[in-house]
Amino acid sequence: MPNAAESAEAPEVPDAPDAAATEERTVLFADVAGSTRMYEQFGDTEALRRVGACLTAARDAAETYQGEVVKTIGDEIMCVFPDSGTALLAACAMQAAVRALPPVNDIPMALRIGFHSGSVLRRDGDAFGDTVNVAARIVALASAGQILVGDAACTTLPAYLKYGIRALGHASLRGRNAEIRLHEVVWDMGADLTLVGSTLSQRGPAPIAALELKFGTYRWRLESGAITIGRDAMNQIVLTTRRASRNHARIEARKGKFFVKDSSTNGTFVRPEGGEEVRLNREETMLKGKGSIFFGDPPSSEAAEELRYFIE
């Protein structure tokens, strides 16, 4: 006769979580630019509707190009793609779809997008690992309407997709010791883009000079076009000091020379190394050599934000 232990049913063992698997993938983050300002300006309900429209457009574009939407985090979407080529095509489609949405105060809606390729740990439908972390740091460096690409993703692009890539140089990523080489995707040839980085290959003679800029941990390389600076989130360089204007200044490249043009209330201070400090008030001056630029606050102020420049 069986004893109680033998006749009792075995306890039910809960299902084990999905086993983790490592895959070579491209991870893309897309963030709605200016969402904080929208919540402040339009209120929660209307801002949420507008942010939701942007994320829906981004999701549709991702799925069109074989992307898997892993999750939505507030005003940001995270996707995984089989390769960097499909990620690039999806990123361009995302920007175009969001730009077609109704503008906010005559400013087109835009995304900040960054992606990176490498090993990704997949478990329970989520994605983890260094590739994910780097992609998240890259999107934090992007400006409104900009697509930034890590070097690992850029090198694996199909040849026909590399014609619209601009090299930006190296950038420091928060929480990482090693710098990463970044590239920009020129997704709209007709737009008034911030032409940061090298000119497109085989598109005329090389520029005779380049301007290197450093603002905190961010770096830019300017050879043509312009960079806008101010407190407004739509600027390429976003200031936080209270004395800065929403659209404070811009740095322009003209025939191999570089100019800073002030359009602010409290002025812009240019301090060339080895030269005299200049205060601009709705004026412009040519940058030479290397030095620092301050916006709204004079260099002597504790609140002053410093932009370092170097012309090579």
Q: Which domains does the chain have, with CATH numbers?
A: 22-185 (3.30.70.1230), 211-311 (2.60.200.20)
Residue 160: pLDDT over 80: no
pLDDT cut 70: percent of the chain above it: 85
- pLDDT confidence of residue 11: 44
- pLDDT confidence of residue 201: 30
Comparing 187 with 5, the larger pLDDT belongs to 187
Which range (3-17, 55-69, 143-157, 167-181) has the least confidence?
A: 3-17
CB 167 within 8 A of CB 133: no
- pLDDT confidence of residue 179: 76
Which range (175-179, 203-207, 237-241) has the least confidence?
A: 203-207
Per-residue pLDDT tens digits for 77-119: 999 999 999 999 999 899 888 888 887 766 678 899 999 999 9
Nearest one of 89, 83, 94, 212 to 152, comparing CA atoms: 83
Most confident of 34-38, 101-105, 125-129, 191-195: 125-129
* Beta-bridge partner residues of 180: 171
